[in-house]
Chains A and B, each alone.
Chain A
Amino acid sequence: MAIEITMPKLGLTMETGKITEWKKKEGDQVKKGEILLVVETEKITYEVEAPGDGILHIVVPVEGEVPVAELIGYLAADKAEYDKVAAGGAAPAAATAPAAAAPVAAAAAPAKAAAAPARAPGERVKSSPFARKLADEAGIDIALVAGTGPEGRVVAKDVEAFKESGPRIRMTPVAEKMVADLKLDAAQITGTGPGGKITKEDIEQFAARQKAPATAAPAEKKTGEVKMEEGDKLVKLTSMRKVIARKMLESCNQAAQAYMTNSIDATLIQEFREKILKTAEKKHGVRVTITDFVIKITAMAIERHPVINTRWTADGILFLKNINVGMAMAIKDGLVVPVIHNANKKSIIQIAKDRTALIDKGRNGKLGPAEMTGGTFTVSAMGMFGTELFSAIINQPENAILGVGAIIDKPVVVNKQIVIKPMMNLTLTYDHRTIDGADAGRFLQTLKELHDDPMLILAE
């Protein structure tokens, strides 16, 4: 049975991906785990591994912009099978075996994965322990995986198949109906519900945008319409650039953004850092930076101000339990925001380790879905450019983002004397739909307190 290769879903909000390079040629014998192709998405450049052994037949060549879960190739078990798939006869997929009838989402983008199981809300998902382990590790909600084991049990191969062929687009039941009724392409809709599900509101907004003049979605000028002069240069939009553009504009339009700044005396955290620098390097093999302190302190402050760690939904303000701090990071073509999960529970050294690992992966294009999803707050540090103060745009669907300026020696008044102190500006951009000025003020006050006396992290 031939293995289907489909466009993987590499991020909660990913709708399409661009195939930038097939690493193997048509007809090549491929081994499981070898790199098959490179996919460029909204956030990352990703190397896709072969899900099994087989002879490669390419369905979608390079440069295609392919919706998630779309078929892009086959790995045939043998020559006979290869001939069949190459001739266009699709061999039955090894990975798909939907046990239940597919719910109404036929109008959505063609999803080749196993149709989502028809489970009643709250129904217990039968799954093997190993399948659950695999699902946890891959960040997959096992309720979405169809089970082919005895009594409809989800077993390991079902989870593997789900990972390879990509899940269908996650929607609330109401949204599913709306998509069907309105005959929409769900792949084009950004989901802001729990776990990135598409909600009724998302669909309403999407539909509104479709009708309204292009305030939310800037009309794309076709090439040729652009007037160029001698020396001007037109750089084609990469997937990442397109998506950054769309999301930044959306963020500005959706959220009621307000800004608040506080100046922090960084003396004590600098001292603290000096103190542990050697131990961190010698004993733990990691170089601790001020950013690690800021992330830790921010996470601790968020603990005390839960309203910061929220999402706005039409049904209510969702208070999130885990504090997962995203770290805005500039890379070659743009920016990515890998996430440090449960930052409040991690030590500064652990955060330093996580940060180092994520930066490494980011530079090498190896950030995976687990590292890119689940963020509840973002920290954007622009200190390396000497920037004194800046206000970032909120990283949807979060409710706040912290811009961290450079540490610059400034004259300040202490006990009626002018002294020189290393000062750092922290600017909070917050969505005023959820977070009021007083909330923001209190949060910044805590941030200041903890920076002024880092020992409080231990003591309180």
Chain B
Amino acid sequence: MKISKDIKIDLFTRMVKVRTFEDDTNKIFMAGKEMPGFLHLSQGEDAMAAGTCANLEINDAIYTTHRGHGCIIAKGADLKPMMAELFGRIDGCCKGRAGSMHFADVKTGCMGSNGVVGEGMRLAVGTAFAQKYNKTNNVTAVFFGEGASGTGSFHESFNMAATLKLPVIFVCSINLYAQMTHKSVHIAIEDMAERAAGYGAPGVTFDGNDVEVVYEEVAKAVKHCRAGKGPYLVEGKTYRHYGHYIGDPCNYRPAGELEEWMKKDPVVLYEKKLLKEGVLDAKGVQQVKDECKRLVDEAVEYARKSPQPDIEELYVDIFA
């Protein structure tokens, strides 16, 4: 598949935006003053987010995990309400009620992150059902990891999507760890894609840190789903640079593993590739980075200015 220059720059921009947001959020959180709750950061999985979402239109839906900032940003959500939500302020995309693990930005198709591992898949099947019902030609992508693949939710949802032929793309990021235990505790197989055939659907495995590969493979999946052929499983091998949560000492990782994976940092690698191919020059790269930084800074400004929600917020919207 030939990827145009514009798309390449777009892929790169998405990744840089994700990376900048996550890095800055990390710093603010660690300062300990402005962000309440838990954060689960996704640096290292930027290619999976960018490569997948670049294939999706605004009306396509995604369901994200507790580690979902990257996917939501890559899908095109406005950073300002996202940051305000992390700060727990009233101008957050969820009015400060949900926070990092339960982010939703419905107008850009981000139908919700989930604090319960694997639950997004059931919801995704429902949204895909609605898309098919309404004949909108849209698809739903749901992100998950090897940990979630053990839940009843995964099996029921994949089976349901296959039997009802629903347009769901199951996007699996194998990042080697589910919370603190290695992949081998969670699955007895090597590649998640092996399972797809067992349910009657296609599945593919690839390098999740090569954004162009991700982009190409997901494109096939999207095409399959839009054609009404049912679900599709894509599996990218990747790695998260930080712990499960901010503050996780990562004692479960063997020495040297992180360093090995840092050499395959998707953002760094792609920058090199684009420079080498002449898609962008150094100035162009810097422009992308500066623009992303500006957007993130603007988001932080916005969040800081936004007030705390009133206590009344607890008592409104219980019912529609």
* Complex A–B touching at CB under 8 A: no
Which residues on A are within 8 Å of B, measured CB to CB?
Answer: none
